Structure 1
């Protein structure tokens, strides 16, 4: 009986400590990391049904699977750069568009990784790529290939279109807006008809306001001040201005104006380069210390 009395005393002591100090719940991570290092991250989120990996060797290779979708990314890290992204169906291999439900899964994964992941450069690259994917217009198939010769994407009809870009990705200097917070900028963009510019439209916006205007990413999220998601650029502001014009002038909602889709590829280098730090080729870029 003596050992029973000792157990009761210990149990009573724990209860008293809980009453005095309060009970602290230790929250378990929703992500199961199989490996976490500067060169390799592998894991899964059971509640989201997501399996992911990102590995850095001669380039960064990322693989993300959930539902019927597999996302493949290759990002060059040597001179000349380069970037490739494709979302395809696991069942038939065809390139797909992402639905709102798909984007919700990716956004939730970003939140979980921001809360429970590491803060190394590979993790930041992973999150910046996810930020690009979740920002992708739902009318565009998720495919892009960037090389020194230009940017190639697919239209809503799954026809390839090219966007000229003379500057190699490794030498790309974004028109950043880190020092423009609170300032009103006039943004201009072409109206395209069958690939031909027929007019030029403009819309003004206050950088950093009106729903994080000018930020490369969807809306204002709870992790908007994180390094990977605090990039403001002229290209992203111009796309925001186009969408704002569509909503306020044309009265079109819940869909993306084709001209805004055409502007989106120009924002892609800003997403994937902005994560590299507060300086790129001597130009302040990431705005994590400004306006946050």
Structure 2
């Protein structure tokens, strides 16, 4: 069973997201979308660094050859932490100024799977994209208002894609050439139990789904059976990442967004970075080939 989550960094994020463990530096990266901030947290020293991105930033991932790649409202950017510079690379939706990029992951081939969403959280204008050696392309799934997840199974054959407002995590086959097969429902979150936010897979094929407004993270087995719910002292959990030297520490981002003054008073840790023992190991993050 997982241990109780505890705050390890008081980020106070409006919309914390995108936790990612960087094996090379043994540090945890994440973002605050609404404050345009990229964070790096060193668990060994408790040092916290931050950089201001050129817009609402949804995620940060390691890049082959060094540095990072981040997803900003206006597209993918190369990010050099040493110099603090952001360099535009690709804008997949120049015709959609009301959208922003929201969540992402990489696979063993170095492909980036990332989604967009309606920043107003209403129009079904969000799409899932794949970036690989052929460039950036729509992955072919039906558009939704808020894309989330995405997560890859340990064997690289399955993508988990979340329709947040539809309360559904979809299981999608990944073909050898990187194209996607037909999606089937993996899990559905009932009304009143929160909205499925970011998903993460562990080394045993389990899927961990963060619940925005649901006070926890759910751990499912590969068949979609609920194994455990990890309860938090805050309502809005956005995503977890596995880290630490043995990849057996779970780090979780949270959010203050949408909470009233009374709710914030009752949840003083809302928006912080949490950690807990998940009882299982995760997988190292693959570097993006871009």
More helix by share: 1
Q: TM (normalized to structure 1)?
A: 0.33
Say which structure, 1 or 2, has more relative contact order (CA 8 Å, 6+ apart): 2
TM-score (norm 2): 0.33
